[in-house]
Amino acid sequence: MKVGDLRERLAAAMASAMRRPEAEAVALTADRAKAMAVAMAGMDPSTEVDPEALVVGTRQVAVILGFHPEHVRRLIRTGRLRAALVGGDYRILVSDLWPLLAVRYRQPGRRRLPGRRPG
């Protein structure tokens, strides 16, 4: 899929979400669209990309989640976020951020993520 086409799909998903009555659905769609947009920042619209293979670095994850970069590293070290160390920085699949984004909109008392095994 081309970056330009994926951007159009993200815009369409946001437009569709904004017609829904559930505020949580709109917010979660916006968070996911933001994550993918950050991963595609600066890419040429004609570039081929696999949405499932989009990766971001530690600083980008911090921007997406609203955390400090050191907190992102702590999530990685404790196994709550999968990452690969590449050239001195961690690389995280954008799709691995979905549980961290979804946990924001769960019912109270059900917000903690289970620990993950590095892999």
Q: What is the pLDDT of residue 109?
A: 60
Residue with tokens 């050191």: 70
How far is residue 86's CA from residue 18's CA, in Å, rounded to a whole number? 37
Domain ranges of the chain: 3-105
**Binned average pLDDT, 10 residues per bin, the chain of 119 residues:** 93 92 89 93 93 94 94 94 93 94 73 55
* Parallel/antiparallel/unpaired status of strands 84-86 and 89-93: antiparallel
Q: Model's pTM, two decimal places?
A: 0.79
